[in-house]
Amino acid sequence: MNIAPFIFIGLFATFSASWFGFVFRSQAEIGRETQYMNPITGAVYPVAREGRAQQGTEVYRAQGCAACHTQQVRALSEGNDIVRGWGIRRTVAADYMLDRPALLGNVRLGPDLANIGLRKGTNDVVALYKHLINPRSVRGGEKSIMPLYKYLFEKRRASGTPGAVIMENEPGFEYIPSDDAKSLVAYLISLKSNGDVFEAPMPQPKAPSTNAPAGTNMTATATNAAAAPTTNAPAK
Partner 1 sequence: MKTERVRMISHGVEEEPSVGTGEIPVIFFGLLAGLIFLSILYLDRYAGGFDNQVYRPYASHDILMADQPKTLGGEQIAKGKRVYEATCQICHQPNGLGTPGQFPPLDGSEWVNGPITRLIRIPVLGLSGPIQIKGEQWAAAMPAMGAALSDEDLAALLTYIRQAWSNKSGPVKVDEVKKVKGDIGGRSDAWTSDELLKVPETL
Partner 2 sequence: MLMAWSSICWLAISLLVGAIAIAKIHYPPLLAGIPALTYGRLVAVQDSVFIYGFASQAAMAVALWLICRLGATTLIGSGVAVLGALIWNLGVAVGFVGILSGNLSPFEHFQFPHAAMPILLLGYCVYGVSAILTFWSRKECSMYPSLWFVFAGLIFFPWILATAMMTLWSPVVRGSVAPIVALWAGQNLVALWLGMIGLATIYYFLPKLTGRSLYSNALAVFAFWFTILFAQSSGMHAQAAFPAWIAGLSEITTILLVIPAAASALNWYRTLGNVDRTLGSAPAYRFMRKASNFYVLSVVVAAFAALRPVNRMLEFTIFQTGLAQLTLLGFFTFSMFGAFVYILPRVTQAEWPKPEFSIHLQGSTIGAALVIGGLILGGLVQGSQFQSLTTDFVKAVRSAAIPFGGIALFGYLILFAAQIAFLFNMLGLVCCSICGKEDVRR
Task: List contacts with partner 1 (CB under 8 A).
Answer: 25-26, 29-30, 38-42, 75-78, 90, 92-93, 196, 198-202, 205, 207-209, 211, 213-215, 218-219, 221-222, 225-230
Q: Which is nearer to partner 1, 121 or 201 (CB)?
A: 201
Distance of closest approach, residue 72 Cβ to partner 1, in angstroms:
11
| Helix pair 179-190, 125-133: axis angle to 10 deg | 120
Nearer CB in complex with partner 2: 213/234:
234
- Contact between 147 and partner 2 (CB under 8 A)? yes
Cα 47 from Cα 38, distance rounded (Å): 13
Q: What string marks each residue from 21 to 60 as x (binds partner 2 by CB under 8 A) or -?
A: xxx--xx--xx-x---------------------------
Q: Is the dihedral of CA 9, 15, 18, 22 positive or negative?
A: negative
Q: Which of the ranges 12-20, 37-45, 158-166, 167-175 carries the binding residues for partner 2, by CB under 8 A?
A: 12-20
- Report how many residues bind partner 2 under the rule CB under 8 A: 77
Binding partner selected for residue 141 from partner 1, partner 2, none, CB under the kind-specific 5 to 8 Å limit: partner 2
Q: How far is the CB of 28 from partner 2 (least distance, A)?
A: 9
- Residue 50 DSSP label: P
Are the C-beta atoms of residues 101 and 178 closer than 8 Å to each other?
no
Q: Toward partner 2, which CB reaches closer, 101 or 225?
A: 101
Whole-Å CA distances, 2 to 64, 96, 127, 194: 49, 48, 69, 58
211-216 own/partner pairs: CB under 8 Å, 24+ apart? none
Under 8 Å between Cβ of 186 and 54: no
Rounded to 5°, the CA angle 146-50-152 comes to 30
Query: 128-163 burial by CB neighbour count: b if 16+ within 10 A, else e?
Result: bbbbbbbbebeeeeeebebeebeebbeeeeeeeeee
Residues in the chain: 236
Q: Which does 227 bind (CB under 5 to 8 A by kind): partner 2, partner 1, none?
A: partner 1
Least Cβ distance, residue 220 to partner 2 (angstroms)? 27
Q: How far is the CB of 27 from partner 2 (least distance, A)?
A: 5
Q: Show contacts with partner 2 in window 61-80 (CB under 8 A).
A: 61-68, 70, 72-75, 78-80
- Annotate each residue in 86-125 with x if it binds partner 2 (CB under 8 A) or - if it does not, as one string: ----xxxxxxxxxxxxxxxxxxxxxx--------------
CA dist., res. 224 & res. 231, Å (int): 11
Q: Residue 13 touches which of partner 2, partner 1, none (CB < 5 to 8 A by kind)?
A: none
